[in-house]
Amino acid sequence: MPSPAERPSNGLWIVGIGPGRNEYMTGRAADVISRSEYVIGNDSYLDSIRPLLEGKQVIRSSMGKEIERAKKAIELAQSHTVSIVSGGDAGVYGMAGIVLEVLEHSKEKIPVEIVPGVTAANAAASLIGSPLSGDFAVISLSDLLTPLEVIERRLDAVFSVGIPVVIYNPRSHGRPHNFALAIEHARKFYPPTVPVAVVKNALREGQADPLIVTLGEIEHIMEDVDMHTTVIIGGSESRIWRMGNDVKGIITPRGYHRKYVY
């Protein structure tokens, strides 16, 4: 796939801008945005990169308008350099998939590059120790594009193998009950001692102290879970990480203890 960087007169960059704070954006993301004539995204993402937008044509879009946004980006990229931005990584519940589908359907040929970003899973995990040290799964509870029964089957599949699960889109006004439902599924497979972390606005404005509880105590923090949070449900080997008496986060041992003495 040719990179627009090599042919800077036109092309499309699909850019993950990371969790929010500018220092967590990759150098490549900042570079391609600064080279773009047009930057397209929704308000909250564009606000978080405001210093990079000076002198650019900025097209603000809103949630639910992803297909229009993708079409506009493709149309403009015929003759301009265009960045379409997503939070975290654009390929993880972001714009990359839909832009490529629309592009494929349009039969247009334009240079495209996907610029990866730090995901909410990575950002949240970094604030609570090392909960995702080995295999883990990521599941979104949004049933806008995936039927709820499919989400429930996937939750059972991953909980049944005992790996940590990162929950995206855990709760919103439109789906207040999906998180409680996911917890019911976890409880079918896990004991009440399994640790759970709720991380709100990781590495961006509004970051809150992560909440660390166990599956047995989760009712206490239900109200803290919203669409700005990522929830990490530990696996069968995960445990609370303490420093002295302080609860710091979650460790999921990768298995060194089975092989080495330390």
* Contacting positions for ligand SAH (CB under 6 A): 19-20, 86-89, 92-94, 119-120, 123-124, 168-170, 199, 201-204, 227-230
* Of 139, 110, 122, nearest in space to 2 by CA: 110
Residue 262 Cβ vs ligand SAH, minimum distance, rounded to whole Å: 32
Give the residues across from 84 on adjacent strands: 14, 40
Residue 248 Cβ vs ligand SAH, minimum distance, rounded to whole Å: 18
Tell me the C-alpha distance between 46 and 61, whole Å. Answer: 10
| Residue 259 per-residue DSSP state | T
Residue 92 Cβ vs ligand SAH, minimum distance, rounded to whole Å: 4
Q: What is the dihedral of CA 72, 33, 37, 99, to 10 degrees?
A: -20
Locate tokens 């350099």: which residue? 81
Cα-based distances in Å from 211 to 225, 232, 260 = 10, 10, 32
Question: Whose Cβ is closer to ligand SAH: residue 150's or residue 160's?
Answer: 150
Question: Whose Cβ is closer to ligand SAH: residue 108's or residue 208's?
Answer: 208
Question: Whose Cβ is closer to ligand SAH: residue 22's or residue 160's?
Answer: 22
Question: Whose Cβ is closer to ligand SAH: residue 30's or residue 125's?
Answer: 125
Residue 32 Cβ vs ligand SAH, minimum distance, rounded to whole Å: 17
Question: Whose Cβ is closer to ligand SAH: residue 24's or residue 80's?
Answer: 24
* Of 132, 164, 162, 167, nearest in space to 151 by CA: 167
Asked whether 185 and 161 are in contact (CB, 8 A), the reply is: no
Residue 11 Cβ vs ligand SAH, minimum distance, rounded to whole Å: 22
Handedness of CA 127, 221, 250, 117 (dihedral sign): negative
